[in-house]
Structure 1
């Protein structure tokens, strides 16, 4: 065999092997669980003192409880529960990428002050919940349906439930909103800085962070995810899920968000068919909207959800 023919045969194999290795590295970087909470960015460190005051408030509560469930695929999932006396209202607070329930303490405190019982799950691949990989809301959406049933069992059939989340948590509650079996007790959804789809978000980030094109890394990483978790990236489509949502939806996003770009909020908002509102917070970067003005944030959320709760 001539040398040119040998090179013509071997070179595509080497390129494929190298690309597959790069896709595996990308997948491990983005999806593999870590057993610690990453530090906030230098910019967000200015809110650290206020953030930890909310964490202390949650952890010091004598009525703080741990809820657990075992999923149909035999995963152990954990959540923190803060009961509110004499209230039938409850909120499930979805955390962001590589966070945990406790990292949402500021929102938990806010909703408790608004009269809600609060559930703060650790999603799969995070905190005290099982999972070697992060599912970016897709498997978590089914776990949230189970959490909703737990709340209804706890508070009764006349309970009223709000779904709230930031970043990946916003995507998760939006995916839940598109489920056909969503119980009637769920009255509204608030999604802060959610992405439109897993494919969109990964494609955006590899361009921004690594200056690489979508192809072939994202499709190959999707194939790896299919082999590991049982589904391709294309099914994790938040915008598509919201086309099936009829419940009130409040979309919040920072105008300076360069991690999940603002156009994603606008696309998700447009997709939902029920009552809705969109708040683009001037100057806010990713997940900063609350911290810029906590009082205004609480008021805007309260103004939107109050008509849908008794």
Structure 2
């Protein structure tokens, strides 16, 4: 993992900063990590080789018939938007709700959307809060989004019917969002949960990235970042725990993770898997980096998911 240049970022060694400097540096780190950006950052260098395939999926997304869904339409501060793609087979009762990654949006999940579409599913692609077309100034890393995903599931039941069969699926931050959603009171139409490379907790993920990307001590910076977040967002980063939510899960759960993930280290999926009650399965994809498991072999990825669905959908 390439470390950030601390001088260019506006930071120097913590011991040289003093209390005021550390506080200011924490605020800069918070804005860097939590404040929304109205563009999709460039993907990591290890996935640049998949650019042509990715844009083929995006072109498919832009040419497929879609509908626009909204939550909290009259509440400008909490308005959440989504794209709905009807299945090719009219009146299909099968729907997948897909959670995107950090600083992405529904469009960035076009490859997964097409995979499920080809499997016969309606596809719902929300833009999380502070992403895409949805409102919000700060990224909540799935904690508030999890409640929106409960609402999205209820919206599917309301629009598609009480005989709906729903899968929840997410990648990276979206994977963690699905893990956290699993502990909520979901409608019975939600049958299966699938997470690809989700983190076990926000505290652990922030601590890991502070060390690996900035070589900064988490014991100094995480409490200050937490205080800023509590003031701006109203919750502690310690609330954002996939592990605690997964312990309440009652549905079959498939965990996917890249063997060589250096952004969400593989030990986190082991912790999440251990916390989740049965039935559950785990698939560690050899040689895959972060969010690369699909791209290494799309057909094998689809086959694994189809096998999971076939095994537990009844």
Which one of the candidate residues 225, 230, 233 is aligned to 1:229? Answer: 233
Structure 1 CA distance, aligned partners of 2:270 and 2:50?
27
Corresponding position: 1:159 with 2:161: no
Separation of aligned partners in 2, 1:306 and 1:151: 21
2:76–2:135: 8 Å Cα contact kept in structure 1?
no
Instruction: Establish whether residue 88 from structure 1 lines up as the match of residue 90 from structure 2.
Output: no
1:104 counterpart residue number: 109
Matched, 1:238 2:242: yes
Q: Deviations over 1:73-127 (max 9, x none)?
A: 9411111100112310111100000000000000000001111110001001101
For the residues of structure 1 that align with 2:250 and 2:282, how far apart are their CA atoms? 16
* Structure 2 Cα separation of the partners of residues 77 and 47 of structure 1: 30
Aligned pairs for 1:198-277 within 5 A: 198-277=202-281
SS in structure 2 at match of 1:161: strand
User: Which of 142, 150, 161 in structure 2 is aligned with 1:145?
Assistant: 150
CA RMSD of aligned residues (A): 1.4
User: Structure 1: how far apart are the matches of 2:303 and 2:140?
Assistant: 32
Structure 2 counterpart of 1:309, from 296, 306, 313 = 313
CA distance in 1, matches of 2:269, 2:76: 32
**CA shift for structure 1 position 16:** 2.3
Displacement of 1:182? 1.2
**2:288 aligned to 284, 291, 294, which one?**
284
Moved over 6 A (4+): none
User: What TM-score do you get using the length of structure 1 for normalisation?
Assistant: 0.93
Extract unaligned runs of 5+ from structure 1.
Answer: 1-11
Match of 1:39 in 2: 42
In 1, the alpha carbon distance for the partners of 2:250 and 2:80 equals 28
Q: Distance in 2 between matches of 1:247 and 1:53?
A: 34
**1:64 aligned partner:** 66
Describe the SS at the equivalent of 2:218: coil
Q: What residue is the counterpart of 1:3 in the other structure? A: none
Distance of 1:21 and 1:74 partners within structure 2: 27
> Aligned partners of 1:254, 1:58: CA distance in 2, in Å?
26
Return the offset for 1:15: 2.7
How far apart in 1 are the matches of 2:136 and 2:77? 11
State the SS of the aligned residue for 2:261.
coil
Query: What is the CA distance between 1:19 and its match in structure 2?
Result: 1.5
Q: Secondary structure at the match of 1:183?
A: coil
Determine if contact 1:254/1:281 at 8 Å carries over to the other structure: yes
TM superposition shift of 1:286: 0.2
Report the Cα offset of residue 309 of structure 1: 3.0
> Are 2:122 and 1:122 equivalent residues in the alignment?
no
Is contact 1:245-1:274 (8 Å) kept? no
Write out aligned runs for 1:164-203 (5 A): 164-179=169-184, 181-203=185-207
Conserved 8 A contact 1:38-1:98: yes
Q: Indicate conservation of the 8 Å contact 2:200/2:268, yes or no.
A: yes
**Per-residue deviation at 1:214?**
0.7
Q: CA deviation at 1:257?
A: 0.3
Quick check: 66-75 or 140-149, which moved more? Answer: 66-75
Give, in angstroms, the shift of residue 197 of structure 1. 0.4
- Alignment: residue pair count: 296
Max radius of gyration: which structure? 1
Alignment correspondent of 1:6: none
Matched residue of 1:216: which SS?
Answer: helix
Equivalent residue in structure 2 for 1:24, among 23, 27, 31 = 27
TM-score by length of 2: 0.92
Alpha-carbon deviation of 1:268?
Answer: 0.5
